[in-house]
Structure formats: structure tokens, C-alpha cells
Amino acid sequence: MEELSAVRQAAIAALASAGVPSPGADADLLLCHVLGISRSELKLRELRGDVFQGDQREQFTALVAARRTRIPLQHLTGVAHFRYLELKVGPGVFTPRPETETVVQLGLDFVAAHRIDAPSCIDLCSGSGAIAAALASELPGSRVWAVELSAEAIGYTRANCLPHQVTVLHQDATSLPGEFDASMDLVISNPPYIPPNAIPREAEVRDHDPDMALYGLGEDGLQIPRAISAQAMKLLRPGGYFVMEHAEVQQDSAAAMLREAGFERVAGHKDLTGRARATSGYAPHREAVPPTTHRA
């Protein structure tokens, strides 16, 4: 039997040689998954010189071999961490990214700044349900909806959202029923937005995230985001807030798109790495239309 530290170092070297971007973190997370322990417990066992048992060693070796082929870490463990949540993920659903956490924070900041006690929020193109579940878990008393079209992803949407009392809608996020019009305080979306000729370099994204969650259609990749922006305008009450994630290079076109949809106070936002990550806007305060006067 090998010492845990030796097994860990060998795994890091194997992952690094395969071009895995974060070999140390991935090796640790796979070890924790196999052993059923936390990372702090893993460090403690390594310091004690604990050994690796036979069956667990075989399972870990198989997982490292799979990760070397660039199968996403989250597909191997079945979970993704997002803000304060542990989400269920796997093949067929877009794996939530840390940068989207800042998009959620923009929505939370809006609710806090306007002191909305029981906000109505909706997550369009919800995928795993990460945004909706985060909003529901961090906004006590809120009412949250998650909308997802993919038949492959919807199971994950429900699994992650229903424990937080999120209402899940399996339908097209660009054409919701009129009963939702002017009913939302907050709309957030991380829609597909990659242009057709901008194939992702990362194998984990290119080969394993579903195309339906990646490519936004149209030459600029913004066909679906434009439809989402128009839908958001319909959904928001006067003064409501819309936040949409997009690619760094789409910052200017996203701002123009929101203005064309009628949003006011349009602003761009950067993620924690300093990259342009999202654009937001407010629904206008619509003036009441005076009644038509009929003359005899």
C-alpha cells in the first residue's frame, strides 16, 4: 500500500502532463471524492502519513485516467460548487462557472439597495439551476422561477432548484406566457452567447458542455441573447433590474442590445478576474396612458 502523499503527487504529475489546467486542485478534489472527506481532512491524513487502501486506489486511478482525457472534473464527481451551494451536474448540462457568481451578486445587490422584502426573480436559460438556486437560498422570502428548454438539462435544473422551493418551467425562455408580464423585480440570464466561429479552446467546454448551452446563434452569437433581452423587458415591473452574462468581446454590443430593448441606465460589469462579464439595465418607469376621449 502506498502513502497518500505519494499517490497524490503522482496524480498531480499525471494530470499536469495531460495539460489539465489545475492539476493540484483536481487531484485533491478527486481524492476527497473517493475518500468521502473534506480537503482539510485530506491534508491532515497526508501529514499523518496515512496509506491508500486497495479498492479506493483503483477507483482513484480510474478517475485520474478519465480526467487526463479532459472529461470535466464535475462530471467525474457529479457535483459543482457555486457560491454556497453544491449542485448536481453531469453530461447534458452546462457546468456552472465561478465567474457567474459575480452575476448573481449584482442581482443580490440590487435587491438589497432597493430594500425589496419579498422579490420575485426569474433565471432564464437556467441550465443546472445555479443562478435560481443561489438567489432562492440567499434571498429569504423570495419567489424564484427557473426556465430551461433542454430535455437533457431539465432534470438537473429540478434536482438543484426544487430543494430551494424554486418553481421550474420546462419551456422556451424567449416566449413565456403573458401572465408573467410586468411581474418580476429581477431577471438574470446566462444565455448561450458564443458566436458560431468562436469554438472554445478548452477541451472540457468544447467537447463536453452541450452546444445548446454554448452557441447563441446568428453571426455575432447574440440572436438568443437579443430574444432574452426582449423577454426580460416584458417580464420586469417598472424599475426592475436585468442582468445578462456574455463574452468579454461582446461588452459593447451587449450594451447596445439592452438599450435597443428599452433598458435604461445600462452598465457593464467585470468579474473577479477583471474581464467584462455582464451587462445590466433597468426597466423604465412607464407612464400611464390616458384614457381615450370619444366625441359625439
The secondary structure of 198-253 as a DSSP string is: ---S-HHHHHHS-HHHHB--STTS-HHHHHHHHHHHHHEEEEEEEEEE--GGGHHH
Residue 262 pLDDT: 95
| Residue bearing cell 418551467 | 169
Residue 287 pLDDT: 52
Classify 114 in phi/psi space as left (phi over 0), alpha (psi -120 to 50) or beta: alpha
Residue 292 pLDDT: 45
Identity at 231, one-letter amino acid code: Q
190 is in an annotated binding site: yes
206 in Cβ contact with 200 (< 8 Å) = yes
Residue 6 pLDDT: 86
Residue 129 pLDDT: 96
Residue 75 pLDDT: 85
Residues of the chain with pLDDT below 70 are 1, 193, 195-221, 286-296
Domain boundaries, the chain: 4-69, 80-282
Q: Is 180 exposed, middle or buried (0-12, 13-18, 19+ CB in 10 A)?
A: middle
Length reported for the chain? 296
CATH code, residues 80-282: 3.40.50.150
Positive or negative torsion for Cα 35, 41, 47, 49: negative
**Residue in 130, 149, 132, 220 with CA at minimum distance from that of residue 184:** 132
Residue 291 pLDDT: 45
281 in Cβ contact with 187 (< 8 Å) = no
Structure-block grid coordinates of residue 204: 472540457
238 is in an annotated binding site: no
140 is in an annotated binding site: no
- 3-state class of 102 per DSSP? helix
191 is in an annotated binding site: yes
Q: What whole-number distance in Å separates Cα of residue 72 and Cα of residue 68?
A: 10
193 is in an annotated binding site: yes
Residue 289 pLDDT: 44
pLDDT tens digits for 160-190?
A: 999 999 999 999 999 999 999 999 999 999 9
Residue 47 pLDDT: 84
145 in Cβ contact with 167 (< 8 Å) = yes
